[in-house]
Amino acid sequence: MADMQVYECASCGNTTEVGADQTKPPECCGNAMKPAEDLKACGLSTTAEHSRFDDFDEPCDDGRAG
């Protein structure tokens, strides 16, 4: 099975998958689409509501322990 590449339109946000062997990027809204960036599966939050003082790779304390 050939690898697939995901492209995203900068104007409207549509995405499409094409074969990795395709040399020309697809077009949408009259412009060439750009390769979509890979999303991280998991990461640490930087917002005050979700941040931790220490990072010990333990579950977050949701305040129900008492």
Domains in the chain: boundaries: 1-60
CA distance 5 to 61: 39
CA distance 48 to 11: 32
Quote the tokens at residue 55: 């990072």
pLDDT of residue 61: 64
DSSP state of 44: -
- Are 45 and 17 in contact, with CB atoms under 8 Å apart? no
- Are 15 and 7 in contact, with CB atoms under 8 Å apart? yes
Sequential pLDDT tens for the chain (66 residues): 458 888 999 899 899 999 878 888 899 999 999 988 765 555 666 677 766 666 666 666 667 766
DSSP state of 25: P
